[in-house]
């Protein structure tokens, strides 16, 4: 069975894939072009795509009868794949949900602490040789312990973040979500505006979809407190970046931390210029063990397809 991996995965995963499939290891680390996506649907039996590989409705419309019958996505987010168009073309879609949960939650905590305690700003000061020594009122930030954290989108990752904040830092947890969640810790479900207004720290854990595009807009941001910070580890387009920049520039909120961006890898110059903003290069799952687990989960879906079994992680 012919398998295309759109961008090279860790060596152990590539070796396992090569041992099982007729493997095409695509060169380069950039997302697949429209032409490449069309060719993959035409020539391959299974494709393991990832972030930015645009399998949209236009691509599926260009292939009357796809040879490819499975897109085993490498990653939990699959907003780069039009699932409805794939289904109409007879192409199944899977993802790697459980493998990314803890690593992404850890990055959320990294961003919370870096932004609240001004760690990025402090490191830049030290590297620039501008630190003149300790004094009692230097770089005073937000104390995280005991604060109220609002989780917007209480899925697997949102719950993992909430647990870290609740059990690790004694935080009160509120959340906005389409449905009530049964949790092993105390948390209060609130409407979006009320959750954001109650919080010292707001964390976005929404999945990306047409419904969540710019879910956090100027109106939602206006509910936040002036000392509060916002962290996004979901997908870049769940927040209106222009509205957020305006809120930061006006002092409407105190700071923000990002691992994802609306038009990544492009990051607005306005954000890069702000000392109260922490910017990471999409590090959510960037640990070898995690990426190996993600790759093996994608392969498990491909193997199940090859063997005619039910797919472990259909979307």
Alpha helices in 44-135 (DSSP H): 57-61, 83-88, 101-116, 119-127
User: How do beta strands 229-232 and 277-279 pair?
Assistant: unpaired
194 part of the active site: no
Catalytic residue among 26, 166, 235, 291: 235
Catalytic residue among 264, 292, 300, 306: 264
282 part of the active site: yes
Catalytic residue among 242, 282, 292, 300: 282
Tell me the residue ranges of DSSP E strands in the chain.
2-5, 22-25, 46-48, 70-72, 92-94, 148-152, 172-176, 188-189, 201-204, 229-232, 255-258, 277-279
264 part of the active site: yes
282, 263 in Cβ contact below 8 A?
no
| Cβ-based neighbours of 273, under 8 Å, separated by 6 or more | none
What distance in Å separates the CA atoms of residue 280 and residue 295, rounded to the nearest whole number? Answer: 23
Residues labelled catalytic: 235, 264, 282
């Amino acid at each position: 069975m012919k398998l295309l991996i759109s961008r090279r995965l860790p060596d152990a995963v590539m070796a396992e894939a090569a041992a099982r499939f007729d493997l095409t290891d695509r060169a380069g680390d950039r997302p697949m072009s429209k032409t490449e996506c069309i060719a993959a649907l035409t020539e391959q039996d299974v494709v393991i795509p990832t972030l930015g590989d645009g399998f949209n409705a236009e691509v599926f419309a260009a292939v009357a009868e796809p040879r490819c019958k499975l897109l085993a996505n490498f990653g939990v987010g699959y907003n780069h794949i039009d699932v409805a168009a794939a289904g109409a073309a007879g192409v199944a879609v899977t993802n790697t949900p459980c493998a990314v949960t803890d690593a992404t939650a850890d990055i959320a905590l990294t961003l919370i602490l870096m932004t609240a305690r001004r760690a990025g700003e402090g490191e830049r000061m030290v590297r620039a040789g501008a630190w003149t020594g300790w004094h009692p009122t230097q770089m005073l930030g937000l104390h995280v312990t005991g604060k109220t954290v609002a989780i917007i989108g209480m899925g697997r990752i949102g719950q993992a973040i909430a647990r870290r904040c609740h059990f690790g830092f004694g935080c009160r947890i509120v959340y906005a979500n389409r449905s009530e969640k049964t949790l092993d810790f105390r948390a209060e479900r609130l409407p979006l505006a009320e959750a954001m207004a109650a919080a010292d720290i707001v964390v976005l854990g929404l999945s990306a979809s047409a419904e969540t595009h710019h879910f956090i807009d100027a109106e939602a941001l206006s509910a936040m407190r002036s000392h509060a910070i916002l962290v996004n580890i979901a997908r870049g387009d769940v927040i209106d970046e222009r509205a957020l920049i305006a809120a930061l520039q006006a002092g409407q909120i105190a700071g923000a931390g990002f691992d994802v961006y609306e038009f990544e890898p492009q990051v607005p110059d306005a954000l890069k210029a702000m000392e109260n903003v922490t910017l990471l290069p999409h590090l959510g799952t960037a640990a070898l063990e995690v990426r190996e687990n993600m790759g093996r989960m994608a392969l498990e879906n491909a193997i199940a397809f090859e063997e005619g079994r039910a797919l472990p992680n259909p979307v």
